[in-house]
Amino acid sequence: MKQLVMLFFLVPTLMLGNCFWGKTGHRVTGHIAQNHLTGKTKRALKDLLEGHSLAYVSTFADEIKADRKYSGYFAWHFVNYPLGMRYEDSEKSKYGDLITGIEECIQKIKNKENSKKTRAFHLKMLIHLIGDLHQPLHASRAEDKGGNDIQVQWFGEGSNLHRVWDKNLIESYGMTYTELATELDQVDRKERKRIQEGSIYDWVDESHEICAKLYDSAKAGDKLGYQYGYKYNDLLFEQLQKGGIRLAKVLNDLFK
């Protein structure tokens, strides 16, 4: 009986895989964004998020993943299309994807006829999804589930390429999310404007191009550790920084 109960919980978890920018990544993105909001956006967020910070609500979309009630939102966490292709030219999933998820959130939040509960739900989802958009393996390819099927070792422990980018790299760095956000928030106005250029369509293709490079960074069976960190931490930090600064832009545009 005990084994049956275990299986009941384990099978869905294994099927879905472990596939989220870890908590630290999402919180860094939220914390950076918080420093670049207009007064109007801050007031709107205070009301909808009931005083909670962006970092605090940034992990909500992952916390509800285990609840079957929300299984329809699973496809929103990523988008897969062939490497070398642009999102706009790709065949779309009937289940939706990261981009359709972001678009739906924006529409739901914009429409003031929706209840506060609906608008708050989609706002929390949006804050999370802009983070996912900057994890290159969430704008990836279908055949290996964004690197989830590429098994590697991380400091001698079993992992996979996707997980290395979701959490192994960032956790091995050993900084808290506030420390990392403070480090990564040091951008001047000109740089901020440059990062905020473009739309979610440009940003997803940018992540997708980086993703193609990451497929060359490791192959199945590789033993990854310090060397991989030396080589890729800067790219990881750049993605987190862009995620935070662009999240602020998306929110400021939304509550203008």
User: Interface with Zn ion by CB under 5 A: which residues?
Assistant: 19-20, 77, 132, 166
CA distances to 12, 20, 104, 133, 151 from 97, rounded to whole Å, are: 20, 14, 10, 11, 24
Shorter beta-carbon distance to ligand ADE: residue 34 or 207: 207
Min separation Cβ 163 and Zn ion, Å:
8
User: Which residue's C-beta sits nearest to ligand ADE?
Assistant: 146
Shorter beta-carbon distance to ligand ADE: residue 13 or 118: 13
Angle subtended by helix axes 226-254 and 23-34, to nearest 10 = 40
Shorter beta-carbon distance to Zn ion: residue 77 or 141: 77
Q: What are the φ and ψ backbone dihedral angles of 250, each rounded to 5 degrees?
A: -60, -45
Give the one entry of ligand ADE, Zn ion, none that residue 166 binds, where binding means its C-beta sits below a cut-off of 5 to 8 angstroms depending on kind. Answer: Zn ion
Give the one entry of ligand ADE, Zn ion, none that residue 126 binds, where binding means its C-beta sits below a cut-off of 5 to 8 angstroms depending on kind. Answer: none
- Going by C-alpha positions, the residue among 208, 209, 23 that lies closest to residue 99 is 208
Give the one entry of ligand ADE, Zn ion, none that residue 52 binds, where binding means its C-beta sits below a cut-off of 5 to 8 angstroms depending on kind. Answer: none
Give the one entry of Zn ion, ligand ADE, none that residue 132 binds, where binding means its C-beta sits below a cut-off of 5 to 8 angstroms depending on kind. Answer: Zn ion
Distance of alpha carbon 52 from alpha carbon 23, whole angstroms: 16
Helix (H) or strand (E) holding 139: strand 139-140
Residues 6+ apart with CB under 8 A from 74: 16, 65, 95
Residues 6+ apart with CB under 8 A from 197: none
Instruction: Tell me which residues touch ligand ADE (CB under 6 A).
Output: 17, 19, 78, 80, 137-138, 140, 145-146, 148
Shorter beta-carbon distance to Zn ion: residue 20 or 203: 20
Shorter beta-carbon distance to ligand ADE: residue 44 or 161: 161
